[in-house]
Amino acid sequence: MFDEVFVSELASQIAAKIMPQIHGGNARLKAAPRLLTVKEAATYIGRTEQAMQHLIHRRELVVVRKGRRVHLDRGDLDRWIEANKI
């Protein structure tokens, strides 16, 4: 059986190695972007890009257009999900 001092020392060494990563990782977190590309939106709702394009073409999803760029608002996607629940 392990000696309590050994276990305590091992735990201290492990904590010393992982605590900076845990605390440093929190500083690097970014807010999730509100607008998503079609590809990101497809991943977000679990559909293919082609299925997303189809929903956009049928105007089932609201999009934000700037020039040729098309983005989808995360909130609109959430509302679409809620509206399509059975």
Spatial separation of the C-alpha atoms in residues 73 and 82, rounded to whole Å: 14
Regarding whether 20 and 41 lie in a shared domain, the answer is: no
Same domain membership, residue 76 and residue 41: yes
Amino acid letter, residue 32 = A
Q: Does residue 15 have a pLDDT over 60?
A: yes
Which of 83, 82, 68, 72 lies closest to 39, judged by CA?
A: 72
Contact 56, 63 (CB under 8 A): yes
Alpha carbon distance 45, 75 (integer Å): 12
Instruction: Give the per-residue pLDDT at 1.
Output: 56
Structural domains in the chain (count): 2
> Tens of pLDDT along 46-79?
999 999 999 999 999 999 999 999 999 999 999 9
Domain containing 4: what range?
A: 1-30
Residue 28 pLDDT: 60
**What is the largest distance, in Å, between two alpha-carbon atoms of the chain?**
69
Residue 23, H or E segment: helix 4-27
Identify whether residues 72 and 51 lie together within a single domain.
yes
24-45 residue pLDDT tens: 665 566 788 899 999 999 999 9
Q: What is d(CA 55, CA 66) in angstroms, rounded to the nearest whole number? A: 19
Residue predicted with more confidence, 61 or 22: 61
Q: What is the mean pLDDT of residues 9-28?
A: 76
